[in-house]
Amino acid sequence: MPWKCPHSVQLLLHNENDAVFGMWMLLDGRWLEVPMPRTARRSADGHLQRTDCPDDEYQ
């Protein structure tokens, strides 16, 4: 679908095991996740979590 300003689109995604939503934007023609304050994507399983909460808070 044509879009007047595709670079201004922000998409919030939440996987079933994520603790919070992640924000994605079109940057240079590709969808890239934008780093959010106090969040980190765990390298072991790819889940997004808050860095200022206990590990077991969202389990």
Check whether 2 has a pLDDT greater than 70: yes
> Tens digits of per-residue pLDDT, 14-44?
988 888 899 999 888 889 999 999 999 888 8
What pLDDT is attached to residue 24?
A: 93
Within 8 A by CB and 6+ apart from 24, the residues are 10, 11, 12, 13, 31, 32, 33, 34
- 46-to-7, 18, 22 alpha-carbon distances in Å: 26, 9, 12
Contact 26, 7 (CB under 8 A): yes
Higher pLDDT, 21 or 9: 21
